[in-house]
A = this chain, B = another copy of it.
Amino acid sequence: SSWSRFGAEAGCRAPAVAAVLPAGGSGERMGVPTPKQFCPILERPLISYTLQALERVSWIRDIVVAVTGENMETMKGIIQRYRHKRISLVEAGVTRHRSIFNGLKALAEDQPNCRLSKPEVVIIHDAVRPFVEEDVLLRVVTAAQEHGASGAIRPLVSTVISPSADSCLDHSLERAKHRASEMPQAFLFDVIYEAYQQCSDYDLEFGTECLHLALKYSHIKAKLVEGSPDLWKVTYKRDLYAAESIIKERISQQVCVVMDTKENEEHVGRCLEEMLKTELNHVKVTSGQDLQQIILEQCYNFVCVNVMTSDFEETQRLLNMLEESNLSILYPVVVISVHFLDYESVPFGQRMEKVMQIREFAKEVKKRNILLSGLLIYFPQEEQKLQESLRQGATIIAALIKDRNSGLIGQLLVA
């Protein structure tokens, strides 16, 4: 669909496209033992987010990932667990360039691996740039079709300087005349494959830039495409923190309030909904009338409203639906079982029983990546007091959704 829209404007037909992802790096800059592409974010390895970003793009036919022998089983496990499709694995080389070359070889028709066939255009992307959007992929592919090679660029954040041999400033480069070369890049397959076949061992060992190889060996001047800030590469530990915050923010954009049409419940549910809209800026708050549809639309946060009852029947029904939907395979889903109660009316024994019950439920559904907590909202007769309770409740709901901390599952919070 994006090809028909975008490709038509640019006067191009849809080419056969594959992607190569070098993922053989050791992540030494991170200062952690795990290679950065395997570092967990919300318990899922970074590379799985990047694969997800590429898989979403329907016109990328094959994704070839180059991993070292020692990580091959880990990678197979990731593909299976997160149900990635259209992935082929090849052995990584000692350097990034050698890994890419191995990926290209697997795509070339003369290889014994029969599942793959030679594409017209190949995208090269990094395993550690998980936020790549379809738009920029389309732009580099289209530019590669026309020019033979293309790469995303970004403005420089710092001035670049050239040091002399004694570590003094020789000269500084004009920032406006230079750009940072980022990923993704795209090439006519023959252009980049020929370049790799011709290039020297020195290039394969010490080179960093595919655009440079295309220029040097295939005499192709790559078309440069302005990318968004999202293209940044997870390099340091702080980048992992940033990636985690961005992902948490993205899956916290929508909250679904599940309520019955019972008169009492619907009224309080609507009030809570209004309060959530007021307290959580930028968050889309929806009523769960058509839960199946909301799950399909990938809402990862559910507030289940119960009035004057502390049982979990309705919450249990929601949990069953979520478990069947597989929604929580990729991201932890937050479920908050909200109970509007007039405290004084609940005997102690019953309440502790409920506490224990929600903890058991929570432990159970945690296995399927669902984070369940309970929330008692004080339900007074007086309207103004109710508003105050609702505001408190909204604050607690926001905290649980924002932090998504599995250490707090099974708690019964009080607003």
The answer to whether A411 has its CB under 8 Å from any CB of chain B is yes
| Interface check A109, CB cutoff 8 A | no
Cβ 8 A contact of A211, one of B157, B161, B181: B161
Q: Say yes or no for A229: interface residue by CB 8 A criterion.
A: yes
List of B residues within 8 angstroms of A127 by Cβ: none
- The SS class assigned to the A binding surface is mixed
Which segment, of A70-78, A87-95, A348-356, faces chain B? Answer: A348-356
Q: Is the CB of A182 within 8 A of B158?
A: yes
Number of interface residues of A (CB under 8 A): 74
Q: Does A172 contact B (CB under 8 A)?
A: yes
Chain A 150-162, CB within 8 Å of chain B: the 1/0 string?
Answer: 0101101111111
A136 interface residue, CB < 8 Å from B? no
1/0 per residue, CB under 8 A from B, across A176-188: the answer is 0111111000000
Interface segment, A219-227, A258-266, A321-329, A332-340?
A219-227
| Copies of the polypeptide in the assembly | 2
Residues on B with C-beta less than 8 A from A348 are: 347-349, 351
Cβ contacts A to B, 28 pairs, < 8 Å: A153-B161, A159-B180, A159-B208, A160-B178, A161-B178, A161-B179, A161-B180, A162-B179, A163-B224, A164-B221, A168-B222, A169-B221, A169-B224, A170-B221, A172-B181, A172-B212, A172-B215, A238-B246, A241-B242, A241-B245, A241-B246, A245-B245, A343-B352, A347-B348, A355-B414, A399-B405, A411-B413, A411-B414
A binding-site residues for B, Cβ under 8 Å: 29, 147, 149, 151, 153-154, 156-164, 167-173, 175, 177-182, 208-209, 211-212, 215, 221-225, 229, 232-233, 235-236, 238-239, 241-246, 343, 347-349, 351-352, 355, 359, 395-396, 398-399, 402-403, 405-408, 411-414
Please give 10 more A-B residue pairs, beta carbons under 8 A apart, in addition to A158-B233, A160-B180, A172-B209. Answer: A154-B158, A157-B180, A157-B233, A161-B211, A163-B224, A238-B239, A242-B245, A347-B348, A398-B407, A403-B405
